[in-house]
Amino acid sequence: MTKGKKAKPIDTTTEEKIKEAARVVFLKKGYAATRTRDIAEEAGINLALLNYYFRSKEKLFNIIMLETVNGFIQTMTTILNDEKSTLEKKVELIASNYIDFVLREPNIPIFMLSEMRNNADGLLERMPVIQPILKSTFFIQHQDYVAKGKITEPNPFQFFLNLLALTIFPFISSPLVKLIGGVNDTQFTKMMQERKKLIPVWIKAMMKAK
């Protein structure tokens, strides 16, 4: 009796290899200028194999960005729920971590804007972060500071939004910021690094503002 041929083992590393190659190319060229052929060449595979794993550049980009954002959110959740650090320290860490994160992953703002515009509900389903944030130690500490008269803004969400706006807006509007400010990429990066020290100072001033 002739034995059947053994099934060819599945290369479980191929998908990760493609995603890592895509991350490199997206970072180098940006989403718009990247072709699936560029990703295939970076990964050292043929285009047909890439299309087998990922049907389109957009799908591959979204998967990578979502995984990246979720990983960052886990880090931020840890910061928000650290019972040993003060509210001021949390503000410092949130600003610093977010700025470093986007400087490493410049495609994140593009992804987030696209997802919020086209599928905001779907994005929230894939990144269930609202309740963990609202119930975090960060918000509890804010309410404690309000009760002690250390913060005048009674709404913790308004306080959190102010922090996010100061941190996120320059990246979302970076082309306009660079144009109006007359700065190049290197100068913009330096400005963002400076904001890691400035944002906690501004937030501390906001705490006492009436």
Own/partner pairs, 169-177, CB within 8 angstroms, 24+ separation: 170/195, 171/102, 171/106, 171/108, 171/109, 172/109, 172/112, 172/113, 174/109
Q: What is the pLDDT of residues 146-196, one digit of tens each?
A: 999 999 889 998 998 899 899 989 998 899 999 999 999 999 999 999 999
Domain span at 91: 63-208
Query: Cβ contacts of residue 197 below 8 Å, gap of 6+?
Result: none
SS3 content of the chain, % helix, strand, coil (to 5): 75, 0, 25
110's tokens: 């593009």
Q: What is the pLDDT of residues 55-109, one digit of tens each?
A: 888 888 888 878 887 778 888 889 999 999 999 999 999 999 999 998 988 877 7
pLDDT of residue 170: 93
The rounded distance, in Å, linking the Cα atoms of 113 and 193 is 23
Does 141 share its domain with 185? yes
The rounded distance, in Å, linking the Cα atoms of 77 and 136 is 8
DSSP code string of 61-74: HHHHHHHHHHHHHH
Question: Residue 2 pLDDT > 90, yes or no?
Answer: no
Does 75 share its domain with 165? yes
187's tokens: 């100068």
Q: Are 61 and 129 in contact (CB under 8 A)?
A: no
Whole-structure pTM over 0.85, yes or no? no
pLDDT of residue 129: 62
Per-residue pLDDT band at 1 (split at 50, 70, 90): very low
Question: Residue 132 pLDDT > 80, yes or no?
Answer: no
Q: Are 80 and 131 in contact (CB under 8 A)?
A: no
Question: Residue 199 pLDDT > 70, yes or no?
Answer: yes
Does 110 share its domain with 186? yes
Q: Looking at per-residue confidence, does 181 or 115 come out higher?
A: 181
pLDDT of residue 124: 61
The rounded distance, in Å, linking the Cα atoms of 166 and 146 is 21
CATH number at residue 24: 1.10.10.60
Closest-CA residue to 208 (of 144, 158, 152): 152
Does 19 share its domain with 73? no
CATH number at residue 169: 1.10.357.10
pLDDT of residue 153: 86
Per-residue pLDDT band at 131 (split at 50, 70, 90): low
Per-residue pLDDT band at 10 (split at 50, 70, 90): very low
